[in-house]
Amino acid sequence: MNRSQLTVPPEGTPVPEAHPDAPLGEPLGPHYEQCFGCGPGHPTGLHLEAVSEDGLGVSARFTVGDVHQGAPGLAHGGVLATAMDEALGMVVWLLRKPYVTGRLETDYVLPVPVGTTLYIRTRCTGVAGRKAYLEAEARMDAVDGPVAVRAAALFVEVPVAHFERHGDGVGGMNGADLGGRVNP
């Protein structure tokens, strides 16, 4: 992957320990019902399903539908970037702190036809201060299928008030509820 230095952890950046409350091997619920990435109630969303692997990584999948097309018969690049961002965002929820995407770099390796199921694996590669560094890879039609998309990201920790000020709380909840849910 061709990465900028903005998504590469500085030398010596530690990979964090999994949070003691992070689930292991469990499905992660949606951020909220209407989330475009993972919400089951969004009519044209990705309906991405994710599972916590080890408290620092997530396995996710979604199937490209007709509503996700760019060129006829192929997934829109922005939809693919959204899927990667969504899966990466679930990793930082495992850290039990509120983060937002600061930078997302996406490499499109292969065209992704409508009907393809993408299997996405993510991992945290380091945390330094408020910055979390993450990587993801999406494979077509099987966990060991051909690589279609790679991504690297920088997420920035923000106060819960960010979501209260710029949205409807944290997934419709107030900041006091943040610590009690995996994927609020």
- Within a domain: residue 48? yes
Q: pLDDT tens, 153-177? A: 999 999 877 666 666 555 443 334 4
> Domain range spanning residue 161?
26-166
- Within a domain: residue 173? no
Residue whose token pair is 């036809």: 113
Residues 6 or more apart from 33 whose CB is under 8 A from it?
39, 40, 41, 42
Domain count, the chain: 1
Burial class (CB in 10 A: 0-12, 13-18, 19+), 1: middle
Q: What angle do CA 7, 13, 105 make, to 5 degrees?
A: 10
- Within a domain: residue 100? yes
| Sheet of strand 99-108, all strands in order from the earlier edge strand to the far edge | 27-28, 49-52, 57-63, 117-128, 131-140, 147-157, 99-108
Under a CB-based contact definition with an 8 Å cutoff, are residues 128 and 174 in contact? no
Q: pLDDT tens, 19-56? A: 898 889 889 888 888 889 989 999 999 999 999 989 89
- Within a domain: residue 97? yes
Please give the single-letter amino acid code of residue 55: G
Burial class (CB in 10 A: 0-12, 13-18, 19+), 124: buried
- Within a domain: residue 80? yes
CATH number, domain with residue 42: 3.10.129.10
Question: Residue 175's Cα: distance from chain center in Å?
Answer: 21
Start-to-end Cα distance in the chain: 31
- Within a domain: residue 15? no
Q: pLDDT tens, 60-83? A: 999 999 999 999 999 999 999 999
Instruction: Give the burial string for 89-99 (b: 16+ CB within 10 Å, else e).
Output: bbbbbbbbbbb
Question: Other C-beta atoms within 10 Å of 22: how many?
Answer: 19
Q: Which residues sit opposite 100 in a β-bridge? A: 156
As given in the structure block, the two tokens for residue 16 are 């964090």
- Within a domain: residue 8? no
- Within a domain: residue 134? yes
In this prediction, residue 3 has a pLDDT band, given cuts at 50, 70 and 90, of confident
As given in the structure block, the two tokens for residue 58 are 């997530």
Q: pLDDT tens, 91-132? A: 988 998 889 999 999 999 999 999 999 999 999 999 999 999
Under a CB-based contact definition with an 8 Å cutoff, are residues 59 and 51 in contact? yes
